[in-house]
Every structure is written in structure tokens, then in C-alpha cells.
Chains A and B, each alone.
Chain A
Amino acid sequence: MSDLRELYQEVILDHNKRPRNFGTLDQPSRTARGHNPLCGDRLTLQLAIEGDRIAQVAFEGSGCAISKASASLMTEAIKGHTVAEAEALFERFHTLVTTPPDAPVSTEGLGKLAVFAGVREYPARVKCASLAWHTMKNAVEAVPATARTEEE
């Protein structure tokens, strides 16, 4: 059970059950979709960008606890921040979940997102954790394609 609790931490279970910023925006300036065809996870992310700042963010879709909690925590982490800050956070998060489990990794600056360090032990689930983030990157860069993570 202890191993499983590393993956399914309380924060993740909580955000899975009660995802924050879940829904749609009235006037989004960016909408991006993410799809993981291997597991069927789907996600639509909307951003309202004012100047260089992400003023509003919302997501909806269906997916596992890891992907849903990751999307929910991401929206909390980027809301009110600049696009550049969101992109820097993407890099830090991506490094966190893709660093091999036996290698040291820094959780500095990741706040609550550090709970996803446990995902490294479950290679099949890394793409679940990163789907929302790839979708966010596409949204801020206005990439029209659906984000996919099967190569993760």
C-alpha cells in the first residue's frame, strides 16, 4: 500500500474528486485539446490571456485520476501568472515526471505539483500526468494541433 500511496497521494485523490477550474470560460482567448489515444484520455483547456498574463483558465474532459488531478493542479498553478512563467513551470514539471526514478530530481518551485514525483515509478502513467501540460503549451503558443503524449 505504501508504494501506491506514493502515486495516489491525498492531494491527487482530492483534485481527482473535486477538480478545480473545471468547466468552460465565457470568453476564452485560447482553446486547446489534448488526447491520449492509448488510454482515451481527453481534455479541453481554455485560457483567457490578458496582455502577457493568464487571467482565467478552465478545463474539462475525461481521464484517470492522474491526468485529471494534474490538469486541476496545473490550472491553479498558472492562473494569474505570465505566459513565460507558465512555460518555465512546464519545463520544471516535465523534468520532474520524466527523470528516471533512481536519479535525483529537484521539486524546487513546483509547490503542490511535487506530488507528481511518484509518477516516475509508473512509466505507463507519465503520459497521463503530462497531457494537460502539453495541451497548455499548445494553447499559449497557439498551436492548433491536438496535444498528444504517446511518445512521452
Chain B
Amino acid sequence: MTKLAEAAAAFDVAKLREDFPILAERVHGKPLVYLDNANTTQKPRQVLDALDHYYRHDNANIHRATHLLSERATAAYEGTRATVASFINAPDKREVVFTKGCTEGINLVAQTWGRNTLAPGDEVLVTWMEHHSNIVPWQLVCAATGATLKVCPITDRGELDLDAFDRLLTPRTKIVAMIHVSNALGTINPVAELTRKARAVGAVVLVDGAQAVPHLPVDVQAIGCDFYTFSGHKIYGPTGTGILYGKAARLEAMPPYQGGGDMISSVTFEKTDYNVLPYKFEAGTPNIAGIVGLGAAITYVAGIDREAARAHEDTLLQYLTAQVAAVPGTRLLGEAREKSSVLSFVMEGVHPHDVGTILDTEGIAVRTGQHCAQPIMDRYGVPATVRASIGLYNTRDDVDAFIRGLHKVREVFG
């Protein structure tokens, strides 16, 4: 037994599956095989219970009332902040800003730090494997400020071209915005090494960790980035929740993102003073229940043996990759040496949407399309791909059902 297989064997997936009620669903009369985890993950009952408990027992607005329910709601909401800070090793929980998702975190940085900082002649460096959410916000801010967007290319196997990165990184580079784990290819990028390089030329670094936090241990201090963003719903938490980590000094220097209640310390018609971190960036009543649920999700993930969980997911990805490659007429996209949880591929003569429809009739959920990463599709000359993505609760049986589904696709299309 290899070391990885040994570590994976220590992971009790059958027991973990009992925490996810939705896995008992039947789809078109078949047991659900959920392989769309890079899109969104299912929720354990610990998260469902936290949402239910919050609305049944604690529901009130936060930070602004003297009654007991408001105190309980505030404590639960702020409890998530401390949980997240510890989970990503942020030095201070004031550096954890709640957002409605990873996309909002990136837009917040682009519209506050970016608009305040960028000028004509400055450059924003992104990579070819960014999700649209880490491209479009920078295009908007470049259009508004006159800065230029630069793109680091990738190699055929789906890794960043590090020589090109070195060439593109210059004193004109004001920010490097890069994805930690590619949602379309599964590539794990060496973000700590690239952050060191970026900081050496004086650039700020934002890392999009939406696809990383559910699978890898993330330590924002070890990475050394200025900003790290992710979504709650991809890490077994509720939709409409997200995290922006930012170094305190950076966040302090940034103007507010939105104006409203909670983000101020005093308001007159003449002058408004903004609230301290992180509240300066949290205008209006937030998704309190969702944030409480996110806290439960992160406590859940942090409570499992993450090393064993990663070995389980990696072993499954290897098995999935080998099985898909053995189906006649498949072409894999993205064969990086360091990968996590995602397998993208196309089938000769069959469009991904037809694959998706046929798999669906077998109860198998995958993503088909462009995965909000059109430049990647163009890079490989395909209109779309089929993407199977693994979560904690997936098993070899899921992969076997998926492969049987692909054979069915071949049967229909000949």
C-alpha cells in the first residue's frame, strides 16, 4: 500500500456520508451521484442545524440592540469571524471581512484598493486560468483608472508558465491577482512562491482561494498575500456567504466599499466617520444566518482529519483520472503535476451538454460548459468541457457509476 493510499484508508467516508442528508436523494429514480463540488458543495446536518437553531432561537439584528437575542445573534456572527481567522491562520480577526461570496471579495478590493491606487502606466497581472470573477473586476477597474491588464500564460499541461510570469512581473505591476486552485483544470498554483516574487517588485497580491480552502490547508501568513478570498458555499456552508481576508494595514488604508448602516461610527450631513475594521466593509444587515452556518461548516471541516481527507480526495482523483482516460475517445484537459479535486475532459464527437444530460438521467450530477473560464476553453480550443469534481463524501462507487454513465453516452452516440 502506498503512503497516500494508507492515509486515505484512515478516512471513514461511509460515516462522513451520514452527515449529508441530501446524499440519500434519488434523481430520475437513481441514487444521487454528486460530482459537481467545484460548482457548489452539499451541506452537512451540522450546518443545517446551525441555520435552523439560529432562526428558531437567536434571530435578531446584530451590533445594535440591547436585548438578549441581539447579543446571542452578535455572538454567533462574530464567533464565525474568530473561527475563520483561526482556520486560515489570520493574525487578527479584524482582518476577516464577511462578504456574500468570493466574487464580492474580489470586487471589493478592485473597487476600493484598485480605484484608489491604480493609474495609467500601472499594470494588473492575472493568469490565463482565472475564473471570470478574477478577470472582469480588474477589467472594470483598469477601464476606470487607465491601468493595463496583463495575463500570465499557461503551458499545455495546464500549469502557469513561470518564466513568462517572471517576465511579466515588473515594477509597473501594482497587483498580482491569481487563483490558488483552478476551478476549470484543478491545477494548484505555487501561490507562496509567486507572492514572494510579487512582493519583491512591490506588488500587492490577491489570491482567489474559492477552490483551495475546501481541499488544502490554507495559511495566509505562510502565503504572505495581502488579500485572500473564498466562498462559503464551496466549503459545505450556505450560499450568499464569503470571506475576504486582508492585511490590517491594507484594509485600514482603503476607502469603504459600500455606505450604509453598521459601517459608520458617526454620521452628520457634514461629515461621516467610518467604523473600525472589519465593520467599515460590512454595510447594512448582513446574511447573519448564513454567516452562522458558515461558522458551523468551517468548524465541521476543521474537525475532520484533514490530512486523511486530502489523501482520500487525491486517491479518488487519481482513480477518476485513470478511469476516464481509459474510456475510448476522451481527452483530458489540465494534467498539472500538482492538482486537486477537478477533472475536466471532452469526449470525441459528443458535446459536453449531451454528456451532461445523459449522465443526469443516470442520477449523476457534473458540470458541463465553460466553468466561468472562457479563456481556458479558448486556450485548449474547445467550446466547453465536462467537469467532474470531488468532495469529501465521494467514493469509488461514485466514480464507477460515473464511468458507467460515460459508456452509456458512447452507446447513445455510437
A binds B: yes
CB neighbours (8 Å) of B369 from chain A are: 38-40
CB A61 to nearest CB in B, in angstroms, measures 9
A58 to B202, CA, bound (A): 55
Residue in B353, B384, B411, B413 with the greatest tally of chain A CB atoms within 10 Å: B353
CB-based A-B contact count at 8 angstroms? 50
Say yes or no: B358 contacts A65, CB within 8 Å: no
With A40-B377, A40-B384, A62-B383 already in contact, the answer to whether A7 and B413 are too (CB < 8 A) is no
A122 to B357, CA, bound (A): 8
Residue in A3, A39, A124, A128 with the greatest tally of chain B CB atoms within 10 Å: A39
CB neighbours (8 Å) of A134 from chain B are: none
With A40-B370, A62-B383 already in contact, the answer to whether A13 and B414 are too (CB < 8 A) is yes
With A39-B384, A40-B370, A125-B357 already in contact, the answer to whether A64 and B414 are too (CB < 8 A) is no
Q: Any chain A CB within 8 A of the CB of B412?
A: yes
A13 to B349, CA, bound (A): 11
CB neighbours (8 Å) of A8 from chain B are: 354, 412-413
Considering only CB atoms and an 8 Å cut-off, how many residues of chain A contact the other chain? Answer: 23
| Residues 46-74 of chain A, each 1 if its beta carbon lies under 8 Å from chain B, else 0 | 00000000000000001111101000000
CB B167 to nearest CB in A, in angstroms, measures 31
Say yes or no: B353 contacts A128, CB within 8 Å: yes
A131 to B354, CA, bound (A): 16
Q: Any chain B CB within 8 A of the CB of A103?
A: no
CB A2 to nearest CB in B, in angstroms, measures 11
CB neighbours (8 Å) of A62 from chain B are: 351, 383
For B370, the closest partner residue in chain A by CB is A40
Say yes or no: B353 contacts A39, CB within 8 Å: yes
Say yes or no: A66 contacts B370, CB within 8 Å: no
Chain B interface size, under 10 / 10 to 19 / 20 to 34 / 35 or more:
20 to 34
| Residues 347-380 of chain B, each 1 if its beta carbon lies under 8 Å from chain A, else 0 | 0011111100110010000001110001001000
| Residues 1-31 of chain A, each 1 if its beta carbon lies under 8 Å from chain B, else 0 | 1011101100001000100000000000000
CB neighbours (8 Å) of A13 from chain B are: 412-414
Q: Any chain B CB within 8 A of the CB of A42?
A: yes
With A4-B358, A4-B361, A40-B370 already in contact, the answer to whether A125 and B412 are too (CB < 8 A) is no
CB neighbours (8 Å) of B413 from chain A are: 8, 13, 65
CB A29 to nearest CB in B, in angstroms, measures 28
Chain B 386-414 interface residues, beta-carbon cutoff 8 Å to A: 408, 411-414
Residue in B352, B374, B384 with the greatest tally of chain A CB atoms within 10 Å: B384
CB A77 to nearest CB in B, in angstroms, measures 22
For B377, the closest partner residue in chain A by CB is A40
Given contacts A17-B349, A39-B353, 11 further A-B contacts (CB under 8 A): A1-B411, A13-B413, A40-B369, A40-B377, A40-B384, A62-B351, A63-B383, A64-B353, A64-B354, A65-B354, A128-B353
